[in-house]
Amino acid sequence: MTLLSDVEGMLRAGKPFYALNLIKQYVEDMISDESEIPEQCRHIIEAVRVMPWLNDESWRYFAAKMDDTSIQELAVLVSNCIRE
């Protein structure tokens, strides 16, 4: 499975914040060295890295909700950045 298919599965299951946590975990797993991040992707990767680790129930109270389309777009951007 790919990041995007995993994220889409979580979104279909009604777990948008779990999908965001999948993106965050993917970044943590795939990038061990800051110098590996392409220059044009640094802001995207840094934004994902500073997202809090919260479950769906906690996010509802402590963070603004992203719509499903935005979460899918973030997954595509992260996948493209890490592949470069």
Dump pLDDT digits (tens) for 13-44: 998 888 998 999 999 999 888 787 888 899 99
pLDDT, residue 38, reads: 82
Q: 41: exposed, middle or buried (C-beta count within 10 Å: 0-12, 13-18, 19+)? A: middle
pLDDT of 84 > 60? The answer is no
DSSP string, the chain: --HHHHHHHHHHTT-HHHHHHHHHHHHHHH---GGGS-GGGHHHHHHHHTS----HHHHHHHSPPPPHHHHHHHHHHHHHHHH-
